[in-house]
């Protein structure tokens, strides 16, 4: 034990070794912080966060200002039992598919006239496609 203590390098050498380790840590951590999820997934989630998350969650049963969008593709419009829809949404009488949903996101009133998804001005076709991709990815058919 004592023999080992005496063979420890002088302080200056140890400090350089520590600085070296620091630089190595930086080098090793940089690539992982630059690594991203596939651009598509990230863009899709971002689109949902930007345009929908204020009012909607994708968690089952989690209604906010808007109804939860869990498994929305394949779900009947206006059909959640515990959400207070507008009469027009309640009586829309169709099942959400990708086409209906995309068009609804661009121009809500053209798909369900008199809906109360307000204040929501609609999004671009590009944005709508990303949001639909996100909703498909997180749970749908």
Interface ranges with ligand HEC (CB under 6 A): 51-52, 54-56, 65-67, 69, 72, 77-78, 80, 85-86, 89, 96, 101, 105, 115-117, 119-120, 123, 131
Q: How far is the CB of 64 from ligand HEC (least distance, A)?
A: 8
Q: How far is the CB of 42 from ligand HEC (least distance, A)?
A: 17
Q: How far is the CB of 36 from ligand HEC (least distance, A)?
A: 23
Start-to-end Cα distance in the chain = 67
**Which pair of tokens denotes residue 9?**
């390098």
**Which pair of tokens denotes residue 40?**
């598509």
Q: How far is the CB of 59 from ligand HEC (least distance, A)?
A: 14
- Residue 52 DSSP one-character state: T
Instruction: For ligand HEC, give the closer residue by CB, 36 or 127.
Output: 127
Residue 43 to residue 59: CA distance in whole angstroms: 20
Using alpha carbons, select from 67, 119, 74, 64 the residue that is nearest to residue 101: 74
Instruction: For ligand HEC, give the closer residue by CB, 25 or 62.
Output: 62
Using alpha carbons, select from 98, 103, 96, 97 the residue that is nearest to residue 80: 96
């Amino acid at each position: 034990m004592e023999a080992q203590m005496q063979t420890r390098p002088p302080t200056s050498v140890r400090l350089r070794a520590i600085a070296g380790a620091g630089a190595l840590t930086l080098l090793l951590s940089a690539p992982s912080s630059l690594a991203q999820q596939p651009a598509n997934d990230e863009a899709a989630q971002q689109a949902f966060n930007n345009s929908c998350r204020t009012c909607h969650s994708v968690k089952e049963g989690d209604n906010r200002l808007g109804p939860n969008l869990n498994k929305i593709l394949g779900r009947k419009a206006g059909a959640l039992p515990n959400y207070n829809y507008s009469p027009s949404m309640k009586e829309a009488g169709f099942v959400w598919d990708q086409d209906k949903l995309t068009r609804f996101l661009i121009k809500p009133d053209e798909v369900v006239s008199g809906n109360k998804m307000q204040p929501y001005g609609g999004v671009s076709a590009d944005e709508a496609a990303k949001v639909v991709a996100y909703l498909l990815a997180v749970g749908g058919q």
